[in-house]
Amino acid sequence: MKKKHKDLDVDFIGEQSAMTKEEELAISQFLKKEKQKSKKQSAQTHKRRRIKDKQMA
Amino acid sequence: MELDFEVDKLTNSIENVVTGDSFRTDVILISKTDLKNISKKNKWLFDWKFEFKQPQRDVYKLTIVNNETVIQGLMSVEVKSDHVYMHLVESAPFNKGKTKMYAGVAGNLVAFACKLAFQRGYEGNVSFFSKTQLVQHYIETLGAKHVGGRIMIIGKISALKLINKYFPNEKKT
C-alpha cells in the first residue's frame, strides 16, 4: 500500500525584508533552549542506561 | 493549493509533473551571468539582483545535472552566528502554480540549506520567515517549529529527515 504523505508545495519561501534584532534574539534564545533540552535528555538517557547496566550486572 | 498527494520523490532530483520522469539536480552558487534573465519582467517574484549584491548572503541555483544554464529555482541564505537563515527560496516561473513543469524544487533547496547548516557546525538549524497561513504547512511538510511571529525554525531531527529524503546518498558532516 502506498503511503499518503504531505510534501512541501510552495512556489516561494521568505520575505525580502530584513530580520529585526528582536527576531534574531528570539531565534538565538530558542536555539539555546533547544540545545539545553537536548543535553538534559541525553544526560537522563545515560543515567537510565547506567542504572539498567548496574541492575543487569 | 494541493497539499495531499502521494510521494515517492526520495532523491535529490526533481520530477517532471507530466511524464513523471526524475532528473538529478545540482545546487551551486549563482554567477553574474546567470542573473541576466532573472527579473520581474521575466516573472520572477523577488529582486534577485539585490540578493546577489548583499555581501553577507549567498545565492544558490538549482539546476538539472548537465544543464546548468536553465535555472529551476533560487535560494538566498546567510550564515548567522548559530544557524543558517534562509532569506528566500523561489521556484522558476515555469515551475510555479498548477502548470509547473517540475515538482520538488523548493524541497530540494530547503534540504540543501539544512546540509549547509550541518557543514557549518550548526546541527542543521535553519530559520526562515513564513506567512501566517503557511505556518501549519511548514510544520507538516518540513517539520519546522513556529517560534513566534513570522519565525520558523527547522531543528536537527527535521533537518536530518529532509537531508535523508532529498540527498539520500550523501553522508552528513
Q: Are B162 and B142 in contact (CB under 8 A)?
A: yes
**A52 has a pLDDT exceeding 70:** yes
**pLDDT tens, N- to C-terminus, chain B (173 residues):** 333 333 333 347 899 999 999 999 999 999 999 999 999 999 999 999 999 999 999 999 999 999 999 999 999 999 999 999 999 999 999 999 999 999 999 999 999 999 999 999 999 999 999 999 999 999 999 999 999 999 999 999 999 999 998 887 665 44
Residues B136-172 as b/e (b if ≥16 CB within 10 A, e otherwise) read: ebbeebbebbebeebbbbbbbebbbbbbebbbeeeee
End-to-end CA distance of chain A: 45
Rg, Å, chain B Cα set? 15
Write the CB contacts of B158 (distance below 8 Å, at least 6 apart in sequence): B114, B124, B142, B143, B144
Q: Are B59 and B76 in contact (CB under 8 A)?
A: yes
Taking the model in full, what pTM does it have? 0.86
Which residues of A sit within 8 Å Cβ distance of B?
2-16, 19, 23-24, 26-28, 30-31, 34, 38
Check residues A9 and B77 and name the one with the higher pLDDT: B77
In terms of DSSP H, where are the helices of chain A?
A: 21-56
Per the listing, cell 539536480 goes with B25
Check residues B12 and A17 and name the one with the higher pLDDT: A17
**Mean pLDDT across A26-42:** 90
- Sign for the pseudo-dihedral over CA of B29, B34, B36, B41: negative
Averaged confidence pLDDT in chain A: 84
CA distance B171 to chain A (A): 22
Burial classification of residue B120, based on how many CB atoms lie within 10 Å of its CB (0-12 exposed, 13-18 middle, 19 or more buried): middle
From CA A10, how far away is CA B134, in angstroms rounded? 9
Residue A2 CB coordination number (10 Å):
7
Residues of chain B numbered 92-151 and touching chain A (CB < 8 Å) = 95-97, 100, 104, 106-107, 110, 125, 127-130, 134, 137-138, 140-142, 145, 147-151
Residue of B nearest to A7 (CA): B141
DSSP B141-170: HH--EEEETTEEEE-HHHHHHHHHHH-TTS
Q: What pLDDT does B93 receive?
A: 97
**A5 has a pLDDT exceeding 70:** no
Q: What pLDDT does B6 receive?
A: 32
Q: Are A40 and A47 in contact (CB under 8 A)?
A: no
Q: What pLDDT does A54 receive?
A: 82
Q: What pLDDT does B118 receive?
A: 97
Q: Could you give phi then psi for residue A27, rounded to 5 degrees?
A: -65, -45
Q: Which of B113, B111, B164 is nearest to B142 (CA)?
A: B111
**Mean pLDDT across A2-16:** 78
